[in-house]
Structure 1
Amino acid sequence: MASHRDLLVVDVRNQDELREGYIEGSTLIPLWDIVKGQQNIPRDRPVLLICAVGGRSLALGKLMVQNGWPEIYNLKGGIEAWKEAGLPLKY
């Protein structure tokens, strides 16, 4: 995987879901804003997609790879798995 410095962490949840916590340094870009083309994600950086449990981010990642993004990753289990692992969240 890419170096931590280059990795763009994109949280595809909705704004109201951030109450459950978010990963420091992540960028909130709701899924539908991306799908509708209202937000652009650069193709020249590796991207880690995050959602609540990993389903939305996995589906989006597959779509992005099909559309030419060369380096897409999905946080398996999403924010819930992150919490269960005891990793830090911001609120």
Structure 2
Amino acid sequence: MSSTWIYPIRPQELGTLPPSARRIDVREPAEFDGLLGRLPGSELVPLATLLDATVPWPRDVPLLLICRSGARSMKAARLLAEQGFTSLYNLEGGMLAVNEAGLTVEGPGVPPRVSAGHARDALCVATRELYGALPSPPCESLFEKLSAFSHPERASLFQAIERLGSRARADGLPEEAIDRTLRRMRDLISLLEHREVPPS
């Protein structure tokens, strides 16, 4: 078992990293390009490919491991510690925490400003991905609630998302597609919770 210490680091502490540190994002490509964005200068190395990709890397270069919430990145850090890497940092809370802290993120899926109108559109698109070109997507109340989003409504929004997932499973839709879509919806709600939401 490796004795390498994995240093937890909060988004607000990123400036304390060694200048030579590489930012390694272990999410999937769709997440890397998605709503939560990515840290400037980060490199995409999905967790499933991490061990093969890092074979030629110097073991003493500092590595910051990044994911959506901090769980996969911790798993990645432990794997790398077992491979002899000696300077490992795990981003606590992942990209969710980065967005909550209001730090700069980049990527093609990051809206310039999250608004209730954008939220309704994005959720509508996600729902249509599950159900196809329906004239009226299910769970319309979810979109309507977003026009007056407030923190106390967070639980009811997540419950609505779970109901949508249950309906999709009952309809026999692919589990992978359901999970991907529901994750996108949860990320969108988290973004709305931590950013200014102007009237649409």
When the two structures are superposed, what TM-score results if normalisation uses the length of structure 2?
0.42
Give the SS at the match of 1:69. coil
Give the SS at the match of 1:6. coil
Q: Is structure 2 residue 44 aligned with structure 1 residue 28?
A: yes
Query: Which structure has the highest helix share of the two?
Result: 2
- What letter matches 2:24 in structure 1? V
Q: Could you report, residue by residue, the CA deviation over 1:58-84 in whole angstroms, capped at 9, with x for unpaired residues?
A: 011012112210011100100000100
1:17 pairs, out of 7, 18, 31, with 31
Q: CA deviation at 1:24?
A: 0.7
Give the SS at the match of 2:23. strand
1:17-56 alignment, distance < 5 Å: 17-18=31-32, 19-20=34-35, 21-35=37-51, 37=52, 39-40=53-54, 42=57, 43-56=59-72
1:65 pairs, out of 81, 105, 115, with 81
Q: Runs of 5+ in structure 2 lacking a partner? A: 1-15, 108-200
When the two structures are superposed, what TM-score results if normalisation uses the length of structure 1?
0.88
Q: Could you report, residue by residue, the CA deviation over 1:23-58 in whole angstroms, capped at 9, with x for unpaired residues?
A: 1100011110114x2x12622310000000000010
Q: Percent identity?
A: 36
Query: Which structure has the highest strand share of the two?
Result: 1
Q: Runs of 5+ in structure 1 lacking a partner? A: none
Which is higher, the Rg of structure 1 or of structure 2?
A: 2
Q: CA deviation at 1:2?
A: 4.8
Aligned-residue CA RMSD (Å): 1.5
Give the SS at the match of 1:44. coil
